[in-house]
A = this chain, B = another copy of it.
Amino acid sequence: MDEAAPQKGTVTQRAIERIKAMIAEGRLEPGQRLPTERDLAAQLGISRSSMREAIRALTVLGVLEARHGSGIYVTALEAGDLLETFGVVADLSRGPRLVELLEVRRILESTATGLAAARITEDQLAEVEKHLTAMNATDDPEEILAHDLAFHREIAAAAGNDTMAAILEGLSSRTFRARVWRGYQEEGAFARTRREHAAIHRALCARDPEAARAAAAAHVGEVEEWLRAQLGP
């Protein structure tokens, strides 16, 4: 059946590559159901244990989805699925790399906000406003953080680039922001944050891309500079 394959790496690693190749070549379509673990293992001539490790690996990468009792399916392969793992980068990064991540976020967030200013619909703008007012109406840090995340998520979605939005989602993962903002907010940065959010919102309402870009860059840049100062001494 399967000719002698070059013995590179572990059998599990080879199985991962094989399945990835099948998807890349279009032999497996998004949403399609795969053969059973037992059949797949037999096809590649490996044990079910090894095949399960390969499937698990592709599952955490957001490529496959295993439904207990039903089968294994290819995900929709949308940006959100595949970039979900981006969050672990943010969660496991410390020190200087946090600043680098914020720098990347500043660049992408400012671009996305600028694009959003030109493209945002009335409905989307209303949603943004909802989170803005909700954020200013409470004192619970948890709730503020949640609405803050939603505020930026709505804007990123309005930019019309799902891939960019998914990356920004990862760069703003809950634990990441919680870690950085814990200290930032303790220095009374609430007022400043509100001003900056208001500026972003104003630029969006005015459909002014350049102002929106600048406001978003300044917003993220503030946190970035604060964090840089924290790490300096």
* Interface set of A (CB-CB < 8 Å, partner B): 12, 16, 20, 23-24, 49, 52-53, 56-57, 59-61, 63, 77-79, 82-83, 85-86, 88-89, 91-93, 97, 100-101, 103-104, 107-108, 111, 161-164, 167, 175
Contact = CB atoms under 8 A, between A and B. Distances in A.
A20 B100 contact: no
A79 B100 contact: yes
28 contacts: A20-B92, A24-B92, A52-B53, A53-B53, A57-B59, A60-B60, A60-B61, A61-B61, A61-B85, A61-B88, A63-B92, A77-B92, A79-B89, A79-B97, A82-B92, A82-B93, A83-B89, A85-B85, A93-B163, A97-B163, A100-B162, A101-B163, A103-B161, A103-B163, A104-B108, A104-B161, A104-B164, A107-B107
Contacts of A20: 88, 91-92
A16 B86 CA distance: 15
Contact of A82 (B79, B88, B162): B88
Copy tally for this chain in the complex stands at: 2
Interface centre among A78, A82, A86 (most CB of B within 10 A): A82
Contacts of A63: 88, 92
- Chain A contact residues: helix, strand, loop or mixed: helix
A97 B162 contact: yes
A24 B107 contact: no
B100 A164 contact: yes
A60 B16 contact: yes
Closest 10 pairs between A and B when the two form their complex, measured CB to CB: A100-B163, A53-B56, A57-B60, A82-B89, A100-B161, A107-B111, A53-B53, A56-B57, A104-B164, A57-B57
Nearest to A102: B163
Contacts of A103: 161, 163-164
Contacts of A108: 104, 107-108
Interface centre among A16, A24, A162 (most CB of B within 10 A): A24
